[in-house]
Amino acid sequence: MCNQQDIFRQTEGKLYWFYEAERKLELLKAKANRTHDNRLKLMFLRNEYREACAYQGAKTQYVAERVQGKKSIYSNPIEPAMEAAHELDLEILLLWERMLNLENRIDKYEQDILAIKHAISYLAKTDQQICQYKYKHKMSFDDIAKAVSMSKSGVRHRRRKIVAFVYNYLNEMI
C-alpha cells in the first residue's frame, strides 16, 4: 500500500505528464493539419494531371505501339502523365494512412488528459495559475510566489491542496 508521500509524488507526476501531453497534443494537431493540407495539394495536382491526360487523349489519337520491347515513334505522350498520376495516388494513400494514425493518437491523448483537465478546471483561478507555473512552466516556488503575489510558504501550501484535490477527484472518477 502506498503512503501519503508516494501518492503525492504520483499525483504530481500526473500533473507534470498532463502539461507535457497537452503540448504533444498541440504538436500532433499541427502535424495532422499539415498532412491534411499536403494531401489536398497532391489530390489537386493529381486531378490536374488527369485532366491534362484527358485533354491530350482527345487531341491526339496516338496509341503506344511497342516494337521489340521499345516504344515506336508513335508513342503516347499520355503514358508518363498517367504514371505520375498513379504515383500521386500512392502518395495520397500514404498521407491518408498517416492522417488516420495521427487522428488516432490525438484521440488517445485527448481521452487520457480529459480527467485531469476536468480536475484542474474545478480549481480556483489562482490555483490554476500555480498549477500552470509549477507543472507546465516548471517555475520555482520563489518565482511562482512573485507571479501570484503570495508568500513562498503560501504557494507550497496551495500546491499541497491542489495535488490533494486532483488526487481525490481522480479517485472519485474511478
174 residues of the chain, pLDDT tens digit each: 568 899 999 999 999 999 999 999 999 999 999 999 999 998 998 888 777 777 766 544 444 455 555 555 555 666 777 777 788 889 999 999 999 999 999 999 999 899 999 999 999 999 999 999 999 999 999 999 999 999 999 999 999 999 999 999 999 876
pTM of the entire structure?
Answer: 0.72
Q: What was the pLDDT predicted at 1? A: 55
Q: What was the pLDDT predicted at 61? A: 46
Show the domain range for 46: 28-112
Q: What was the pLDDT predicted at 51? A: 79
Report yes or no on 125 lying in a domain: no
Report yes or no on 108 lying in a domain: yes
Q: What was the pLDDT predicted at 173? A: 77
Q: What's the domain count of the chain? A: 1
Report yes or no on 106 lying in a domain: yes
Q: What was the pLDDT predicted at 57? A: 62
Report yes or no on 19 lying in a domain: no
Report yes or no on 32 lying in a domain: yes
Report yes or no on 53 lying in a domain: yes
Closest-CA residue to 139 (of 16, 23, 22): 16
Report yes or no on 143 lying in a domain: no
Report yes or no on 46 lying in a domain: yes
